[in-house]
Amino acid sequence: MRLPRGAGLGRLAAGALRSSQQHVCVSGRAAASMAEEAKKLAAYAAVDNHVQNNQVVGVGSGSTIVYAVDRLAERVRQEKLNIVCVPTSFQARQLILQHGLTLSDLDRHPELDVAIDGADEVDAELTLIKGGGGCLTQEKIVAGCAKHFIVIADYRKDSKALGQQWKKGVPIEVIPMAYVPISRTIAKRFGGEANLRMAVSKAGPVVTDNSNFILDWKFEHAQNWKEVNTAIKMIPGVVETGLFVRMAERAYFGMEDGSVQFRDAPIN
Ligand code: 5RP
C-alpha cells in the first residue's frame, strides 16, 4: 500500500493495514501494552508503505524500530525482497544481524532509499527530538543520506510543540573533555540547564557508540529550533544535537484505538 504524500494529517483504520495486523483490539489493554501495540502498528505501516524491492534501508534505533525490523524481515522472507540495511547504532546492527537481513554501511551504500526511525517527540511541523537512546549522531547521519526519512512512534510522542510531551530535554552528543564548558554555554545562551546523562547499570556517564558523552538540555521555552540547532552545533566540542529539523518527511503514530495516523511535513 503506497500512500499519497501531502501536508497534513491522515488516518489509516486498523483494517486498512496488511492482514498480519488486522486482528488488533486495544480495548481494556493496560497502558504499557497499548503503547507497545501502538509502536508496532506505526512500524508495520511504515515498512509496508515505504519499503520496496531492491532498496537500501536505514534502520533506526530504540524500541519502536524493533517492530519495524520484525516486519522488514517478515516481508523479505515472504516476498523474497532484496533489501540492504544500514544501521544507525550498535543496537540496529545487532537487530539486522539477528533477523538475518543484509548488513551494509555508508561506505558501500552512501545513498539510501529510505530511513525509518523512532523519535522521542514529534511536533506539528515534524521537527523531532531524538537521542533518548543516545544514538542521535549516527541516526542523523543515516537520515541525512536517505531520500525519504520516515518516523515511527506511538501516540505519546505526538506533540504540538517540542517539550509538551517529552520532558527529558534535547540530547546533545559532545566530546567528553568539553562537556562542562558546553553545558555552561548552552545554559547561558539559551536558558535552562544541560546535564550530563548518567548511566544506569554502570558508574559514571553514558558513553555513546562514538565514545562521547550526552548532555540532556532541559530548555525552558519554545525556540526557533532551526536557529538553535545551528547555534549549538557551532559550539566547539558539540558533535551533534538531537534536534532533527526539516528532515522527516512523514511520521506514523500508532494510536490507542488501534488505528494509525500519519502526518506529513509542511511543503516549503
Ligand atoms: C535513540 C532514538 C530513538 O529513536 C528514540 O529515543 C525513540 O525510542 P523508542 O522507540 O524506544 O521510543 O532517538 O537515540
pLDDT averaged over every residue in the chain: 92
Location of C-alpha cell 515511527: 152
CATH code of 224's domain: 3.30.70.260
More confident residue, 106 or 4: 106
The confidence score (pLDDT) of residue 4 equals 47
Q: How far is the CA of 143 from the centre of ligand 1 (A)?
A: 14
User: What is the gyration radius of the CA atoms in the chain, in angstroms?
Assistant: 18
Domains of the chain: total: 2
CATH code of 76's domain: 3.40.50.1360
- With the most atoms of ligand 1 within 8 angstroms of its CB, the residue from 63, 93, 252 to mutate is 63
Co-location of 131 and 50 in the same domain: yes
Tell me the pTM.
Answer: 0.91
Co-location of 258 and 149 in the same domain: yes
Average pLDDT score over residue span 107-134: 98
Co-location of 192 and 121 in the same domain: no
Co-location of 131 and 221 in the same domain: no
Q: Is the CB of 135 under 6 A from ligand 1?
A: yes
The confidence score (pLDDT) of residue 143 equals 99
Instruction: Look at 7-11, 116-120, 235-239 and tell me which has the smallest mean pLDDT.
Output: 7-11
The confidence score (pLDDT) of residue 2 equals 42
Which structural domain, as residue segments, surrounds residue 150? 32-161+244-264
* Cell numbers representing residue 42 in the block: 506505526
Instruction: Look at 7-11, 167-171, 176-180 and tell me which has the smallest mean pLDDT.
Output: 7-11
Q: Is the CB of 121 under 6 A from ligand 1?
A: no
Q: How far is the CA of 137 from the centre of ligand 1 (A)?
A: 12
Q: Is the CB of 131 under 6 A from ligand 1?
A: yes
pLDDT in tens, 179-225: 999 999 999 999 999 999 999 999 999 999 999 999 999 999 988 99
Co-location of 218 and 254 in the same domain: no
- The closest of 137, 131, 114 to 248, measured between CA atoms, is 114
Does residue 258 fall inside a structural domain?
A: yes
